[in-house]
Amino acid sequence: MNIEPFQIGSVPVGGSLPVFILGPCALENEDFAWEMARSVKKIADKTGIPFIFKASYDKANRTSVKSFRGPGVEEGCRILGEIGKELEVPVTTDIHTAEQAEIAAEHIDLLQIPAFLCRQTDLLEAAAKTGRAVNVKKGQFLAPWDTVNIADKMRSFGCHSFFITERGTTFGYNNLVADMRSLYWIRKEGIPVIFDATHSVQRPGGLGGTTGGDGELAPVLARAAIATGVDGIFMETHSDPENAMSDGPNQIPLEFLEDLIIRLIAVHHASHGA
């Protein structure tokens, strides 16, 4: 199924290469955010990928009340906006309320709707009406064909620059399974689809007070998704995953990111003749 191309800043969606949404899980502090953004931008420039920088200003659905959350919407979006302007890259972050959509839209190129809020009509409408592109993460509780209803909402609100991100389906307790058929079925409906390689290997709440995961499988699933055919890959990366303030077990170590991207590009060319 051909997807109608659109732009997010300077980045084409539906171009010759899939979009890469890369960055740390949490915006731990300003210096860290700049360090990660510059490092990932250098890799993106070297490998020639379309790149959007990602970091979350508020981890609102952490397992424990004691867990780190982030600097908040105003400070976080200011930091991300300044990174985007100086490095000349689009930036993205997740929003959780209609009010946050308005604040974020002043600085953020791509608004992300968290999986657990993907059916919240008022939030989808608020994001759509900002005029920004929107990334809706598919809830772990939804079948692939249920995303058609989300797409209908976005279009009815006047937003046509959006995609759905697959990030696994709940399978028993503390486990997710990524079904590659989902990517085909969603895209068959004419909906651009992103695959989230790192959240798909989570084990939510699997460590009791924190989320665990099988980070070593993230590159495996990313390769499979690229071969299946997607419009983009979402991967969180960190310079020191063992000491990350959020989701450390699932993030790609920064030192391995360039090699992984090169492999993914090779899989894309081999699979799709591009």
The confidence score (pLDDT) of residue 83 equals: 98
Q: Return all residues near 20 (Cβ < 8 A) that are at least 6 apart.
A: 44, 49, 50, 51, 52, 232, 233, 235, 261
Render pLDDT for 81-111 as a digit per residue (tens, 0 to 9): 999 999 999 999 999 999 999 999 999 999 9
Residues of the chain above pLDDT 90, percent: 79
**Hey, what amino acid is at 102?**
E
The confidence score (pLDDT) of residue 68 equals: 74
Across 231-237, average pLDDT: 97
Render pLDDT for 9-38 as a digit per residue (tens, 0 to 9): 999 998 899 999 999 999 999 999 999 999
Question: Is residue 1 scored above 70 in pLDDT?
Answer: no
> Superfamily assignment of 6-272 in CATH?
Aldolase class I (3.20.20.70)
**Hey, what amino acid is at 212?**
G
Task: Determine the length of the chain.
Answer: 274
Question: Is residue 58 scored above 70 in pLDDT?
Answer: yes
Secondary structure of residue 51 in the 3-state scheme: strand
Question: Is residue 208 scored above 50 in pLDDT?
Answer: no
Inter-residue contact 221 to 228 (CB < 8 Å): no
Mean pLDDT lowest among 63-72, 111-120, 128-137, 247-256: 63-72
Per-residue CA distances from 229 to 24, 37, 146, 176, 269 (Å):
24, 27, 20, 21, 11
